[in-house]
Structure 1
């Protein structure tokens, strides 16, 4: 009996709580009474539930109250870029290995390694005593030959010297002149000069060393500009032209990006790799780069044009990517296919035209056909957690 009484008391309490909750729901939730009347439950129970009257609004005021505040952005147009990435080796614009043209002992070295030199500057001097003696002897012989010609020319006038003798004197003078020129040339070979403007590298010799002809002495490099050779696939041969800009990133200097241009295009495709060699030129007047460094080369080739939207405009669902377009003041869901992501825009393929408006803020509350009210979000209210969740889904 006690158990039955306890069960009845619990049932009464439950019904009372349900009644209080229903009264609160009907009283304070707009439209609850109207919905309940449509179900027919009050009529079945014999209860009259009066619907709470709502103040009437004009249709225009109602639409204004239902409009969603959003931030819009204009659709632009962008070209789909074909990016080619390769690794290239840098070398000096010009590099010449200095070699001796004769045999001899190194008498002096005029520039330290790494020093800048100008074309024609003396870099190495060889011992030249024998050549100086030979030049002096040739000059003495030339002076004698000149005197003989002058003396015989005076005698020829008086007829005391035959024409044959006079001709022999002239030939002797000419031969003496050639001997002087040869001696001067031999002496000049004892001095080794810079063939180009640039910087002298590390010497392969020391003062006192005996060198022979064609021994390498050092290398002069003009590194005011670097040449970077890299290869591209044969499919883009028709798109590459001299003068096109390339982005170059030294592998030894992460984060640094430089701009060069294509200076030379090879004429033959490599049969083994099916690639074409390209040469880019990079300004290095700051002298911060060195020949032999490796570079990451990025070549961008413009292609087909597509609508470009702000990355925040792209949303995702189980059906794929889409954007909210603002058309006639209402939200229209436009499916798109992403063709390329850039740092500040996304190229998409879909029913969009350049100049249209798309929603970039406030997308979390949009539904098809919802009225839109454009605003400038300065408080950050439209950049809340829902949009962050959308961004997380995009990544």
Structure 2
């Protein structure tokens, strides 16, 4: 019997202490809401009664003093990130057309060459002799054709003989062109201006036909091949801005644009090949480098609020909004966090005042007094005059 009395007495004392805590401690409300006990104990229906010091609360008197910030309009930034491979704006692999021995190699590997610059020259003595022979035959054929034309005027040469002379002249001209072409194939020149690659050759080496000599790259700009999901096909176009970071130079951020878009979606990966272009002004980039590419798209317009306004309970996130001088709780769904704002889905409109300081003493329907100024100055106002 004595034990039962002690249990009852303890329960009464605990209930009384809980009642006093709820009634006179303003910060008890948010704690009970986070613990999910506010609805159970019925404290959410309680209205602020005021208290001394001008601070609103469940056990105080007067309106709760708060600092507010207006709701603005924001947008959820959708982004696509991908890893791409870089390649030069233009690249040409140099190959010899014929076999032969290198007699001249005026360029060094890793140097810049202009379009038309001599890369190498092969031995060409036989081709020069053939060209001289063809020119001699051309001169002889031309003289025969001119002589027959003069005799034809006197009527001593038949038309058949004249046609044969003209045919021989044309054949000699073609032989000269063929000899010049054969001689030109002994010389290799730069087809574009750019940077010459490493040359694993020396003067005097003998190279076969179609031997790979090196590569010339125009890397004034870098093209980046990457892939995007098929869901983004309708949102990109040639000229869409992008940012790229070389994986080997992570502190370098490059601004570029989409230069080309493929016309077929890959069936196995459900992705589309896209090619971006970035400038290489300081010549820090090379073909073959890996890049992290990011595309950003502006999404749906949504309310944006100060991060300090977001509160949490067992039911989720919410904010306090001041309407007609009273506090109203509005549930929010966070869609995106930015450095200075939070984009949310909620029943809020741009310009609505949401509480960022003084939330500890707020209850639904509580009278509020908005303190002007920033959050820092507002907190000082909330604390009231300094006490000595």
- After TM superposition, the score normalised by the length of structure 1 is 0.74
The whole-number CA distance in structure 2 between the counterparts of 1:278 and 1:155 is 71
Aligned pairs (5 A) from 1:367-378: 367-368=363-364, 369=366, 370-376=368-374
Q: Is the 8 A contact 1:314 1:323 kept in 2?
A: yes
Candidates 336, 340, 343, aligned match of 1:340: 336
Q: Secondary structure at the match of 1:374?
A: coil
Q: Kindly tell me: are residues 175 and 258 of structure 1, through their superposed partners in 2, closer, same or farther at Cα, counting changes over 3 Å?
A: same
Deviations 1:364-394 (A, max 9, x none): 555553211121356695599xxxxxxxxxx
Q: Which residue of 2 is the match for residue 93 of structure 1?
A: 89
| Residue correspondence of structure 1 range 293-372 to structure 2 within 5 A | 293-363=289-359, 366-368=362-364, 369=366, 370-372=368-370
2:104 pairs, out of 103, 108, 122, with: 108
**Any conservation in 2 of the 1:77–1:306 contact (CA below 8 Å)?**
yes
Note the C-alpha offset of 1:304.
Answer: 2.1
Higher mean C-alpha deviation, range 317-326 or range 281-290? 317-326
Q: CA 1:187–1:379 in structure 2 vs 1: closer, same or farther (change >3 Å)? A: same
Q: Secondary structure at the match of 2:129?
A: helix
- Residue matched to 1:15: none
- Give a deviation string over 1:23-73, Cα, whole Å, max 9, x none: xxxxxxxxxxxxxxxxxxxxxxxxxxxxxxxx9x9xxxxx99856252x43
Gaps of 5+ in 1: 1-54, 58-62, 385-395
Bigger shift: residues 79-88 or 94-103:
79-88
Contact in 2 for aligned 1:331/1:372 (Cα 8 Å): no
Paired with 2:77 and 2:84, the residues of 1 have a C-alpha distance of 21
Over the aligned positions, Cα root-mean-square deviation in angstroms equals: 2.9
Structure-2 separation of matches of 1:293 and 1:210: 33
Which is further off, 320-329 or 289-298? 320-329
Query: CA separation in 1, counterparts of 2:231 and 2:333?
Result: 25
1:68 aligns with 2:65: yes
Deviation at 1:349, TM superposition (A): 0.9
Find the structure with the greater CA-based Rg. Answer: 1
Q: Equivalents in 1 of 2:200, 2:362: separation in Å? A: 76
CA distance in 2, matches of 1:364, 1:134: 101
Write the distance in 1 (CA, Å) between the matches of 2:286 and 2:212.
21
